[in-house]
Structure 1
Amino acid sequence: MAKHHELGRRGEALAKAHLEAAGYEILDENWTFGKAEVDLIAYKDRMIIFTEVKARSGNSFGEPEDFVDNRKQKLLASAADEYIYIMNHQGEVRFDIVAILFTPQQTYTLKHIEDAFWPSPY
């Protein structure tokens, strides 16, 4: 398996454990719709939280959360719209980012950014 795929899987596992420890219920993992994939879909306080996980081994090109660009936000929004429709969810929705930065010693820092963005429909 490629190193970046391994890093991504490890990051998603850490993000899932973090969310569960914080009282979130994980509804789905790696949920796809069209070209979009939502890493984690969680539920807490009658709100569905669509979570993008970004794991990096360094920040010389920017912080992990910087890689959730407008294109990715639009893809997440389209997937979220479909998920909300399928689940007939009438409550609040939020988009979070869990950014994980690994060190060469394989330690990491995890940053959970709640309400990280609200994707523009355009």
Structure 2
Amino acid sequence: MALHLDLGRRGEALAKAHLESLGYEILDENWCYGKAEVDIIAYKNGTIIFAEVKARTGTGFGEPEDFVNERKQQLLATAADEYIYIMNHKGEVRFDIIAILFNKNTTYTLKHIEDAFWPSAQ
């Protein structure tokens, strides 16, 4: 497997474990709609959380969370709209980013940014 895919899968597994440790229920992983893929869809206290996971090995090009640009946010919003419709969810919705920065010695730092963005109307 390509190294960047392996890094992404490791990051998603860590993010999932993090959310579960905080009492989130994982509803879906790698859920696709159109051109969008939502890494993790979770549920807690009546809120559906659409989480984008970004894992990196360095900050030379920016922090991991910096890679969730406006286009990615719009794709996530489109997918979220469809998911909410399919699930007939009437509660709150939130978009989170889980940024994971791996160090050379296999340790990592995880930053969970709740309510990281709210996509603008299309």
2:49 and 2:57 mapped to 1: Cα distance?
A: 26
* 1:4 Cα offset (Å): 0.2
Tell me the equivalent position of 1:50.
Answer: 50
TM-score by length of 2: 0.99
2:20 and 2:59 mapped to 1: Cα distance?
A: 26
1:10 and 1:120 mapped to 2: Cα distance?
A: 30
Tell me the equivalent position of 1:93.
Answer: 93
1:34 and 1:89 mapped to 2: Cα distance?
A: 20
C-alpha RMSD over aligned residues: 0.4
Q: Does 1:17 align with 2:17?
A: yes
Q: Does 1:83 align with 2:88?
A: no
- Consecutive unaligned residues of structure 2, counting only runs of 5 or more, are none
2:76 and 2:14 mapped to 1: Cα distance?
A: 21
Tell me the equivalent position of 1:114.
Answer: 114
Q: Does 1:70 align with 2:70?
A: yes
Structure 1 vs Structure 2: percent identity of aligned residues?
Answer: 78
> Which of structure 1's runs of 4+ aligned residues deviate more than 6 A?
none
Give 3-state SS (helix, strand or coil) of 1:50's partner.
Answer: strand
Across the two proteins, how many residue pairs are aligned to each other?
122
* 1:48 Cα offset (Å): 0.1
Q: Deviations over 1:51-87 (max 9, x none)?
A: 0000001011100000000000000000000000000
TM-score by length of 1: 0.99
- Consecutive unaligned residues of structure 1, counting only runs of 5 or more, are none
Give 3-state SS (helix, strand or coil) of 2:74's partner.
Answer: helix
